[in-house]
Amino acid sequence: MTSLTEQVDVQAFREQGYLLSHRPLFSAQRQARLTAIFERQLAERGARLSDELDTPHFRDPELLEFLLADEVLDLVEPILGPDIALWSSHFICKDPLVGRATPWHEDSAYWKDRVDGFDSIVTVWLAIDPSHRGNGCMRVIPGTHRNGFSEYEAVDIRANTFDRQIRGVDERGAVYFELEPGQCSLHDARIIHGAAANLSTQRRCGYTMRYFSTNIKVLKDTDHQGEPFKIWLARGRDLAGNRYANVP
């Protein structure tokens, strides 16, 4: 079972804002089942772009088996503590040759009016396909989770997954998250990160699983488009008076 039991890993995460785990998160059988769910959702996407498969667990409750699994919760508990809620999930797929770039951003910048704190939100990025520099793997600027909110500028949405990016990022210190299927990374919601466009012939897909400590209060139960947004109590107890989809 994968966990951050070594204190050095937790300390490294707090200092750098990220961690790479090259051990398989799930068994090969469970990883294959998760991949099959993704392939089914991808086939059903219709006219939507492959990088727009947001909150797929709202549509397919099968994914809760993975999102609430001990393998994942044991990985984030040393960082978040024993009281953990599921915030969101997202299949992020960059198609070969046309996969759009992900501009430099902080996840927390998109949640300013939705939660009352950002210091205890962690994303697990699980590789479905091989993820490397050639096909646009994620990259981060270490230590930037301590900088506060950045200044943004507009970018072309036709070439990017967002319509804005952080201004003036120094990319020289970027760390590239190169992962094989089944391996994962963790990053703080406040860290500056992004990914280049996929100009290779190999698809790059990952599954993001986002969690927060239940001492954070969710201020809105709708997303940025005004659609209903659900959270789950994943482990432990609620500390902030939140409403959960799995708690009466």
Whole-angstrom distance, CA of residue 11 vs CA of residue 220: 32
Is the pLDDT at 152 greater than 70? The verdict is yes
Range of 227's domain?
7-235
Whole-angstrom distance, CA of residue 12 vs CA of residue 140: 14
Q: Is residue 169 part of a domain?
A: yes
Q: Is residue 1 part of a domain?
A: no
pLDDT interval class at 15 (50, 70, 90) = very high
Mean pLDDT of the chain: 91
The pLDDT of residue 106 is 94
Q: Is residue 242 part of a domain?
A: no
pTM of the model: 0.93
The pLDDT of residue 1 is 44
Least confident of 23-27, 42-46, 149-153: 42-46
The pLDDT of residue 44 is 83
Q: Is residue 248 part of a domain?
A: no
pLDDT interval class at 3 (50, 70, 90) = low
Q: Is residue 182 part of a domain?
A: yes
Q: Is residue 82 part of a domain?
A: yes
pLDDT interval class at 49 (50, 70, 90) = low
Q: Are 164 and 103 in contact (CB under 8 A)?
A: yes
The pLDDT of residue 26 is 97
Q: Is residue 241 part of a domain?
A: no
- Write down the H helix ranges in 44-154: 56-59, 64-67, 70-80
CATH number, domain with residue 210:
2.60.120.620
How many domains, in total, are found in the chain?
Answer: 1
Least confident of 2-6, 59-63, 170-174: 2-6
